Amino acid sequence: MEKLIKNIEHAKGYNIKELVEYDEGKIASLTLASTANSGITVAALDAGEKLATHAAPGDAMALVLEGEAEIVIDGVKHIVHPDEIIVMPKDIPHAVSAITKFKMLLILVK
């Protein structure tokens, strides 16, 4: 049977923040699902790292796990903190800049 959630063992509990570690001066990520209609990724951005301005092919919801980041959506700046969510709408330019070391769970729905 095909596994839709990948890169982690099924039927096992995890601390989501521990699925991806920080990499100094870089962005680290772990893809958990990638289908024609959706994607789930855990990402860790070192302080000062950025995801350049881009637009997604679906609505992208970020659940902040750790740290603080500035997310710019269609030119409007938002500061996000742990346990908050923000939706970056389909086809709208957005960017992510880590103010501190920053982890998020990113869910893309097409």
DSSP 39-61: EEEEEEE-TT-EEEEE--SSEEE
Specify the DSSP class assigned to residue 6.
-
Mean pLDDT by 10 residues, the chain (110 residues): 91 97 98 97 98 98 98 98 98 98 98
pTM over 0.85: yes
**pLDDT for position 2:** 81
DSSP per residue over 63-83, as a string?
Answer: EEEES-EEEEETTEEEEE-TT
Residue with tokens 């994607």: 39
- Contacts of residue 37, defined as CB under 8 A and 6 or more positions apart, other chains included, come to 58, 109, 110
The CATH class that applies to domain 16-109 reads mainly beta
